Amino acid sequence: MHLPSTTDLLLTAIRTAYKAGKAILEIYNTSWETTWKTDLSPLTTADLRSHEVITADLHLTGIPVLSEEGAEVTSGTRMNWKRYWLVDPLDGTKEFINRNGEFTVNIALMAGNQPVAGVIYIPVAGSLYFGSKDLGSFRIEESLTGEDILEDTFSDLLQKSTKLPAIMNSGPLIVLASRSHPSSETAGIIQKIEQRNKDCRLLSAGSSLKFCHLAEGSADFYPRFGPTMEWDTAAGQAIAENAGIKVLTWPEMQVMRYNKPSLLNPWFIAFNPDRIDPSDL
C-alpha cells in the first residue's frame, strides 16, 4: 500500500485550508448564529461549516482527524494513531465575531507527539503559511492565492512562495500578546522583557497569527501563560519551528508534546533564539 508523502499531504492540507477559508468568508460577509460551548467559549456557524469542509477532505487521506469541533476521541484511541490531522477549523472565533479579520484556519499533520507539517490560512488577508521539517517554512501573499491554488502542483506553490524568515529584524524587540486572551502572568513576563530591553515594542494579535509573525521574522517573542489547546498551537508550531523559532514549555523549558491524555497545553514561550536568551527571563 502506497503511503502519501508529507509533501503530498501538505499539498492536500493547503488546498483544504483554502476551501475552508472561502467557506468561512461566505458566512463572515453575511450574518451568522453564535452559540456557547460548555466552557463558555463561542461557537459560530462558520466554525461548524469550516469543520465540515476540512474533515470531508482530510478523511479521504485515510488519516484520522482530531478537530476542535469534532466528536470527542478518547485518549486510548488517539494514542494508537501513528499519524493524524490536528485541526482548528476557525482559530480566533472571538476575532471573527468582532470582525477584525484576525482569525485563521489551522491544519497540522502530526506524527506521534509532534507536528511535522502545518498550514495556516488567513481568509480575510488571503495570506497562507505552510511548513514542514523536510522543506522549511513559506508564505504565499494575498495576490498569489486564489482558485489557482486548488490546481497548483507543489512546485507551483513553492515558486509563488517566500521562504521564511523573510525579515531579519535588527530593530526594536517585538513582543507578541494575545488580543482576546490576556493574563496577568503573561503581562508580568512582558513587563520584565520591557525592563531589560528599553527598545521594545508590544504587538497584540489574534489567533495563530502570532506564530506567523514569529516565522516571518516580524516578531521575536511570544509568551503564552494561559490556557490553549493542542489544536490552537500545532500548525503554528510546525511553521514557526521550521523557520528557526523555538517553542518550549514554561518554566520547564521542554519541547512541546502533543496527543497527551489531556489536550490542554502547558504554558509556553515561543522565541527567536537570535534575539532572545530564555535564561534571562
Counting Cβ atoms within 10 Å, is residue 160 exposed (0-12), middle (13-18) or buried (19+)?
A: middle
Name the binding residues. 68, 88, 90-93, 232
Strand boundaries in 78-184, DSSP class E? 83-91, 104-111, 114-122, 127-132, 136-140, 162-163, 173-178
Name the binding residues for Mg(2+). 68, 88, 90-91, 232
Counting Cβ atoms within 10 Å, is residue 145 exposed (0-12), middle (13-18) or buried (19+)?
A: buried
Name the binding residues for substrate. 68, 90-93, 232
Please calculate the CA angle 242-243-247 and round it to the nearest 5 degrees: 70
Distances (CA, A) of 51 to 149, 151, 237, 277: 20, 22, 21, 39
DSSP 3-state of 201: strand
Query: In this structure, what C-alpha cell is assigned to residue 6?
Result: 508529507
Q: Which residues contact 258 (CB under 8 A, 6 or more apart)?
A: 86, 110, 113, 114, 115, 230, 234
